[in-house]
Structure 1
Amino acid sequence: MSAVRPAGTTPPSALGGTGRGRRPSDRIGPVSTALRLGGLFGPSVFGITSAAVALPQVAAALKADTAQVAWVLTAHALALGVGTAVLGRLADSRGPRTALAAAVLLLAGGALVCVVAPSLGVLVAGRLLLAAGSGGTAAVGAALLAGVTGPARPRVLAGYGTAVAVFASAATLLGGLVTAWLSWRVTLALPALSILAAPSCLSLATRPGSRRPIDVPGAAALTVAVATLLVLVQVRTLRLGAPVAVTLAAGFVLAAGAVAWRATRRPDGFVPRALVAEPACRSGAVTGVGVFGGLFAAMYTIPQILTGTHGWDVLAVGVALLPGAAAGALLSRRAGRLGPAGGRLVLAGTSLAAAIALAVTATEWGGPWPAVVAASLCLAAFAVTQVVITGEVSARLPAASRGAGMGLLNLAFFAGGGVASAVVATCAAGLGFSRATAVVALFPLAAAVLAVGTRNRGGR
């Protein structure tokens, strides 16, 4: 079995060529590496898809209405995106071990607050901590994945895509089972499962940090921009009123301008100018936003369709979505063997098929099965994205900025997913869940167009 060499380690040949001087991390095989990193990243998807199942119980237990309970998901989407960027940058500056330790502490503290929270406000605070830690484990996992080099890299990428597809497909089922058998509080704390994978990833986290200071003003500006955008698209759902909407819009414009200005004035700041200038990074980020947006929004609408319209229980919904993991595993392995250009074709085809299935679901033709197929294809596109986009972008990042680059990439992914869920939730309030899937279809459709349009660039 081929060995995987994390970024920053010394090649065995440089140590004498016999292999006796290799570190333990140099002897980890591609399958084991993929499972470890997949276990670190995978539970991050539980914060949205699993938690959505528990929202009715949260509202009843804490005596809150639908608009108030929406903050449970909004706060998580916000902190998840910011956590990936901030702790990804910390991984560059102080090393991945330090960032992983900070993420574990945030996860543990947030989970504890969620389990004992006496009110909705305290619960939202706990979810902020939990999501920041979850974003940190996702960023560290992505940065460690980016450090995998050599012949084993395609196998690691394919295994990683399979692992995260399994987590994504099982999220609704697990959320329903935990809510029914244990408590909604445990369901909201499920992202803390990443803690279990953290010790096994320490042997991969050997790269030292650059010790460069973190650009705090840049981080603050980006945080404000993401926060105001996520809340702005939910003004109607959260019943915040016109004055608040205008204030949020102004805050977003100012913060986004500050991010752009900071990137221009400080090329090595929180948002590195070289990263933004890289065409593959820009196209990969936007393509991933389409895929994640389709997945998050589909995981919000389709369980509601299957339970509310067709009378399925949560267990049946979860079981029906499991084939999406199998499809994702097969397609991601295939995409990993085809190279960047061929992989983008697989991603484009899967995303286009998902968009078509979502559009059919909106017509309410064919009973529940178009919805099941649509969700499964969204899960498959998600798995392929982990192989194609993550692999393509990470290959272009220098070792010293992999944490920041992968953190910002995941920030775009998760923020896009949160915005898509918020937009579709607003549409569903007026159109109903079935017709709102027509809006969901726009996200994977955009990803398909972008994947094809940038195929040749990715191949180069």
Structure 2
Amino acid sequence: MTSRLVDRASAKAAVSVGAVSAAIRLGTLFGPAVFGVTAAGVALPEVALALRAGPAVAWVLTVHALALGIGTAVFGRLADSWGVRAALAVGSFVLAAGTLACFAAPNLGLLIAGRLVLAAGSGAMTSCALALLAAADTAERPKLLATYGGIMAIFAAGATLAGGIATTWLSWRVTLVLPALSLLAVPFCVPLATRRGSRRPIDAIGAALLTLAVSSLVLLIQSQALSLPLGAVAAIGGVVALCALGLNRRVRRRPEGFVPLPVATDAGFWLAALIGTGVYGGLFAMMYAAPQILGKTYGWAVLSIGFALLPGAVLGAVSSRRASRLGTVTSRRLLAGVAAATAAAMAIAGTAGGGPYILVAATSLALASFAVTQVVITGEMSARLPIPRRGAGMGLLNLTFFVGGGIGSAVAGALAPWMGLPGSVAATACFPLIAAVVALTRVRPPRQ
């Protein structure tokens, strides 16, 4: 009874500031996490030149994608156990420490270490924003998600522009720490975090197994870009398999552990994960390939590319707002339609006659798919997951999303030497296409 009263108080606190205001706060808390990969990619040539780093500079992006996904899952579980307010406090400290480390790093090794810490803190901001979104009052959630989706679209569409401005006018170091902008939103989000944690102990072994499994998987899919030897690739593959088996056994033995059994065995969760993986995979592939094609093939400057992608934010805001007002079935159809349009545009853009504006259109549609996915999947899973598991469930869900994004960019990078960048764009159109197909799959209500 007490927990119900606390949860109602939490919902009333969120509504008291207004749904639009709460959405802006939470979107600003999550949004800068997008800059960690897409904006930072713009600065890599400057990083390599300043630190005299060769191909190893790719680790600056790899460790960030890795730690961001893991941080999201770990802090999602901590938000359930300790409460969002405590998770925000710890995450803010980690994010600030990583930011300072990146500014002070004298060489590539220390810079990579700083980026790892930075991304873990950024993952905390992401998981806390999602936990607060999921805890919003059911009646206010559609309005909240509509504005939140628009804010996320603005951050995603403006990533290249933000990276270009920071690198050109300030420093590549500033570009690499743009996720720290989330710290500005923390004081405004703390009043929304009123629900107490469950105080359940954290399953450290489960967390370690998941961390090692995901770390190895990300290294495995990035092995070609990182030029890893065949023996190392085989060893990493073995670690992935062993950790997967160990994690499966751990979940069975600890049903309420780091990966809750009801979440791991929920078909609706895995369908949502597959949709997000496809959408993020397409978006990250486009954000990797499109700026390079527009710059190298068509001679566009970085700032011009950034401005050209801004209309994608408008498209994403309009689409996500529309999705928030629709029922589950209709919103899924909208998501499927936008994802299918993204796949078609990517396939056309990847052909020789696509042209720069088709490429911009494909990227804009990928941004719109991202925004709609945030609204539709977050809304569905918020209603599907019980309150004690929402932080963990949303954290694990977004872990799969970020891993999917890493796979998308890795596939595009691996195919580029063989097919060229345009060919890699056409090939990675399969990601949003898969998302479109899965989005039309009927979702059964969760078992009570």
Structure-1 separation of matches of 2:218 and 2:197: 32
Match of 1:17 in 2: none
| Equivalent residue number for residue 311 of structure 2 | 323
In 1, Cα distance between the equivalents of 2:158 and 2:15?
32
User: Is 1:310 aligned to residue 298 of structure 2?
Assistant: yes
Counterpart in the other structure of 1:29: 18
SS at match of 1:395: helix
Q: Deviations over 1:430-455 (max 9, x none)?
A: 2221111012211101100100123x
Is structure 2 residue 401 aligned with structure 1 residue 401? no
Q: Is the 8 A contact 2:13 2:191 kept in 1?
A: yes
SS in 2 for 1:32: helix
C-alpha distance in structure 2 between counterparts of 1:146 and 1:74, whole Å: 29
Match of 2:129?
Answer: 141
Query: Residue 430 in 1 paired to residue 425 in 2?
Result: no
Q: Does 2:204 align with 1:216?
A: yes
Given candidates 262, 286, 297, the residue that maps to 1:298 is 286
The residue type paired with residue 37 of structure 1 is L
2:121 pairs with 1:123: no
**Residue 75 (structure 2) pairs with residue 55 (structure 1):** no
1:9, distance to aligned residue in structure 2 (A)? 3.6
**Alignment coverage as a number of residue pairs:** 445
Residues 389 and 84 of structure 1, relative CA distance in 2, 3 Å threshold:
same
Counterparts of 2:54 and 2:45, CA distance in 1: 9
Distance in 1 (CA, whole Å) between partners of 2:446 and 2:385 is: 16
Q: Which amino acid aligns with 1:89?
A: R
What are the Cα deviations for residues 48-100 of structure 1, in whole angstroms up to 9, with x where unaligned?
A: 1000011111111111112x011011100100000001011001111101111
Amino acid at match of 1:336: S
1:396 is displaced (CA, Å) by: 1.0
C-alpha distance 326-26 of structure 1, shift in aligned 2 (>3 A): closer
Residues 268-283 of structure 1 mapped to structure 2, 5 A cutoff: 268-283=256-271
Give the secondary-structure state (helix, strand or coil) at the position aligned to 1:307: helix
Q: What is the RMSD computed on CA atoms of the aligned residues? A: 1.8
Shift of 1:189: 0.2
TM-score (norm 1): 0.94
Counterpart amino acid of residue 245 in structure 2: G
Where does 1:100-249 land on structure 2 (aligned, <5 Å)? 100-249=88-237
- 1:44 matches 2:33: yes
Residue 458 to residue 73, structure 1, CA distance change in 2 (3 Å): farther
Deviation for aligned residue 1:239: 1.5
TM-score by length of 2: 0.96
* Distance of aligned partners of 1:458 and 1:330 in 2 relative to their CA distance in 1, 3 Å threshold: farther
Query: How far apart are the structure 2 equivalents of 1:286 and 1:209?
Result: 29
| Cα displacement (A) at 1:141 | 0.3
Identity %: 54
1:458 positional shift: 7.3
- Change in Cα spacing, 1:414 to 1:437, as seen in structure 2 (3 Å) is same
- Which range moved further: 70-79 or 150-159? 150-159
2:39 partner SS: helix
Look up the equivalent residue of 1:47 and give its one-letter code. G
- CA displacement at 1:329 relative to structure 2: 0.8
Instruction: Verify: 1:370 aligned to 2:370, yes or no.
Output: no
Secondary structure of the residue aligned to 1:235 is: coil
Q: Which amino acid aligns with 1:314?
A: V
- Deviation of residue 428 (structure 1)? 1.2
Name the amino acid aligned to 1:453: T
Q: Does the Cα contact within 8 Å between 1:7 and 1:147 map onto a contact in 2? A: no
2:405 paired residue number: 417
Tell me, yes or no, if the aligned pair for 2:266 and 2:446 is still in contact at 8 Å.
no
* Runs of 5+ consecutive residues of structure 1 not aligned to the other structure: 1-5, 15-21
Distance 1:107 1:365 in 2: 44
Over residues 152-190 of structure 1, what are the superposed CA-to-partner deviations in whole Å (9 max), with x where a residue is unaligned? 110101111111110000000000010000000000000
